[in-house]
Structure 1
């Protein structure tokens, strides 16, 4: 049988493994060091595995008590399912949330994304809804839980948290622990985040056409490189045109605080394609301090109108796309393809400041590297579509 001291000494390994306790209770240890309680139950001669919770949030003693409770419930027929409508478990919504997280999020998603989801469960969902059974929760209950979040101005968080609740409920439907996803009844109930829209292009086919138009553009290679690099990095126009060679360190572009809108230093991971743009550009502008200097004066950055004029020469009107629109293009497609909001927003330098922001930045760099390489590869795939 396990002891707390023995559990604390269990090391992570390359692959997940389990350590048995007693009477069907066991601890699963993941490569990232996470530990989860699970139990094997038998009903009508069939084995069923159930996740109880995470260690140390759920102690050894609590896990054993929950095991005993579920075994009694199983013996009494409380975990039966079938056409008579008896639900598979009389567990709480918190238990369903934990099981969903342990099964669908922690093993499959990045550590940072898992941390974000778990934080929203612990701070918002479970305090408001966790002690009810899944089928006791209604759409008005979920809306009431989200209103305090909205009142604090965190509209995007309220929307994302509701999406998490919906995912948990749909998992519950699939596993027989929930009748339906009540968040489906909440369409339009939450207030969307107010966004200042800049003209941009979000259709994949149209983005591919823009990439090909830039590739085929005539004129100075500096401006062509600026458009390509801007699309690949999604920075603000001022940050792009004032970029200096001294700020490029390996696969990172380190922008100092005075150049940033919020006066905080920012790091932009550079994809393989972005580095290729710089490699071709360096023989042309390497003698200038700026990546994209003015064509007639290499000691100064290019004009704030240069990119806009180049887009117009490619045939794109003022109401179709502006240089700032590269950010909206990137943001829209990243969200549509399921990238976590904290990763996208940090890449756009939208995050709040302070010590926590600096700490989060260090945690998010690997995820943002993945994001920017995905974005560059996605653009390449759109660029080649018409050639297939």
Structure 2
């Protein structure tokens, strides 16, 4: 006789486990600890087997019967319900392990470890905001070009054209990693060529007119924020290295004896030397009295164990009234490159090498870090003196642009 919902609900544990039969091979196993488990006894290929349906009350009597009927339908087709359940469970496990998000995080842990902190953060934030919510749960092999395009267009539709392109680039790297590790057949991103809007290419905003550079330097001197940030602004102009390189400068990078800073260039990953002008030495000596007991020249305001935020110099420029369309932290590089070339007449290869660009000699070989070091050392001192000249003229209200002789 079939069980009633009340019989199932009121069944009490005994000293030993016992069964309450329902019908068509299903029964309720009441354990001595009070657990109530649905089971289905069946035969296939001449062998008696048992299917675990689930636990009451998570699985109600009605639902248990539905699962039983599904299992018996499988039996009529020669399918073993227990084997089918196990295979389904394994398929779901593999789908979770091989989901886009799981593989993306694995790729990130392997291939982003040697990237700058800011680049790591931008990449993960891009995936977490624009990819994972839509395709993160999906098996990577199930993601088709139209699915990926639909995801990217959600970002594009909000006006974030460049972000959509960056998300596409990140997705492509994840797919190629999946192909290389045998978990996907191909990367669908090449199929999307031309399907997204192309961002309008713009350069980092920079001040390159001598009179305005002088005013900027005066404003930096009068910056009302912390002395550490003021030093970061001043050294941004004197070093014109990449903003990430400046933020991550450590006291151990400074070689006072040789009067230079020795780092690994953020983009090229090559050793790079920044000769120190007299003005830079003075600023570093002031700064060392404040942060010299820590690791970083410019530690974070939230803790000295990490460097200044990548928005530290940018925010300072904003506070001084320089919008993102007027001047950026990266703009100090364009400022130096333009004026060293067009006003001070230094050789382009010296400037490019000091910018830590990938400069090659006539034979196509990359210049080593000490190439033209004497000339670059003189150039960096001349650059510092020129900035002082522009600042003095700005204070006097009379900027005169001087053309120096070619070297």
Could you say which structure has the larger radius of gyration?
A: 2
TM-score range (shorter-chain normalised) is 0.3 to 0.5
